């Protein structure tokens, strides 16, 4: 039987004053008369963000939560062109290594989901160049943590720019210009408006990249409503990965705002998914994308505990009987 392991995204509703995304705008940075003092301030913010991540991982450990998405905003202004001389890794290496050591020692799967402006199939080469720089930042952070970088960054394909097939081929063309080490960090996700599961499978199978299946997105954007016809192909994209199959789990906010994430995940919604894939792989890692973060995970677990067909593996993992 398949073990379903749950995790959540970046922030906690239970751990107070633990934001991993505190920041400083470049406008604020410029207002400092002493540039070196401003840089020291950036480094303090960055280290506080990382230390808060460590606090969150310790919170997760207490509840057997071993799947967690790190904030992509750990290091404010890390890629800003006016701060190209700032060696942010030099001044955050100790806290980054502590974060990585804790995750590795506790067998936690951590990774990133870079922001929507990371677009590898853009018509504008400066956007593609900036996107690659952002991906390199994530790679460098993972390396500094001592974490295996393979398949740790979830990306959407990008825009269609009026011709989806041309945009898919442009993604492949631009992919060939990216270093292998950056390529190996990437896994691709189907989105809720443009690139459906079939589109993303086309890329994943061509480029040997795992596909992160988002069921909510599929319900909002599909050619074939029955997603199970793709499941074996989705599994197959993970065959060369050191990590288990990963999916994104969320419920629609409402019929009117179907694409938006709800505060919580509907238990019936999950059980229907789990029954369909049960036994197909040893483990599925389910990243909960809900407004209530870890509380959404806890609420889902409370719901699942009451069901006769569910067996608890630990506090945040289940299997079906």
Element (H, E) at 212: strand 211-214
Is residue 303 included in any domain, yes or no? no
With beta carbons less than 8 A apart as the criterion, state whether 319 and 4 touch. yes
Is residue 188 included in any domain, yes or no? yes
Is residue 134 included in any domain, yes or no? yes
Q: How many CB atoms lie within 10 A of CB 292?
A: 17
Is residue 306 included in any domain, yes or no? no
The pair of three-digit structure tokens given for residue 26, joined into one six-digit string: 């470049």
With beta carbons less than 8 A apart as the criterion, state whether 199 and 187 touch. no
Is residue 183 included in any domain, yes or no? yes
**With 0-12 CB in 10 A as exposed, 13-18 as middle and 19+ as buried, what is 180?**
exposed
Is residue 198 included in any domain, yes or no? yes
Spatial distance between the Cα atoms of 155 and 63, rounded to a whole number of angstroms:
28
Is residue 206 included in any domain, yes or no? yes
With beta carbons less than 8 A apart as the criterion, state whether 46 and 94 touch. no
In tens digits, the chain (321 residues) has pLDDT values of 999 999 999 999 999 999 999 998 988 888 888 999 999 999 999 999 999 999 999 999 999 999 999 999 999 999 999 999 999 999 999 999 999 999 999 999 999 999 989 999 999 999 999 999 999 999 999 999 999 999 999 999 999 999 999 999 999 999 999 999 999 999 999 999 999 999 999 999 999 999 999 999 999 999 999 999 999 999 999 999 999 999 999 999 999 999 999 999 999 999 999 999 999 999 999 999 999 999 999 999 999 999 999 999 999 999 999
Structural domain that includes position 170: 114-210
Give the alpha-carbon dihedral of 78, 83, 85, 88, to 10 degrees: -30
Task: Calculate the alpha carbon distances from 311 to 238, 308, 321 in Å.
Answer: 26, 8, 6
3-class secondary-structure state, position 313: strand
Is residue 282 included in any domain, yes or no? no
If one counts the domains in the chain, the total is: 1
């Amino acid at each position: 039987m398949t073990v379903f392991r749950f995790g959540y995204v970046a922030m906690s509703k239970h751990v107070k004053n633990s934001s991993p995304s505190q920041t400083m705008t470049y406008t604020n940075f410029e207002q400092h008369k002493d540039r070196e003092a401003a840089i020291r301030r950036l480094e303090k913010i960055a280290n506080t963000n990382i230390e808060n991540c460590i606090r969150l991982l310790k919170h997760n450990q207490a509840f057997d939560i071993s799947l967690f998405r790190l904030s992509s905003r750990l290091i404010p202004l890390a890629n800003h062109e006016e701060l190209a001389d700032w060696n942010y890794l030099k001044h955050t290496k100790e806290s980054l290594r502590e974060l990585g050591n804790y995750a590795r020692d506790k067998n936690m799967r951590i990774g990133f989901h870079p922001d929507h402006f990371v677009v590898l199939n853009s018509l504008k080469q400066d956007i593609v160049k900036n996107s690659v720089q952002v991906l390199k930042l994530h790679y460098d952070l993972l390396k500094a943590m001592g974490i295996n970088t393979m398949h740790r960054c979830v990306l959407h394909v990008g825009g269609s720019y009026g011709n989806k097939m041309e945009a898919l081929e442009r993604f492949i063309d631009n992919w060939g210009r990216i270093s292998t080490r950056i390529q190996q960090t990437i896994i691709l996700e189907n989105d809720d408006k443009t690139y459906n599961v079939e589109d993303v499978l086309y890329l994943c199978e061509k480029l040997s990249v795992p596909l992160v299946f988002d069921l909510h997105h599929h319900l909002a954007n599909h050619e074939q409503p029955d997603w199970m016809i793709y499941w074996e192909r989705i599994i197959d994209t993970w065959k060369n990965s050191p990590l288990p199959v990963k999916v994104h789990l969320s419920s629609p906010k409402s019929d009117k705002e179907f694409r938006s994430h709800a505060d919580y995940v509907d238990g019936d919604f999950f059980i229907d998914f789990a029954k369909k894939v049960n036994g197909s792989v040893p483990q599925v890692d389910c990243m909960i994308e809900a407004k209530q973060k870890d509380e959404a995970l806890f609420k889902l677990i409370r719901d699942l505990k009451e069901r006769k067909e569910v067996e608890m593996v630990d506090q945040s993992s289940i299997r079906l009987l």
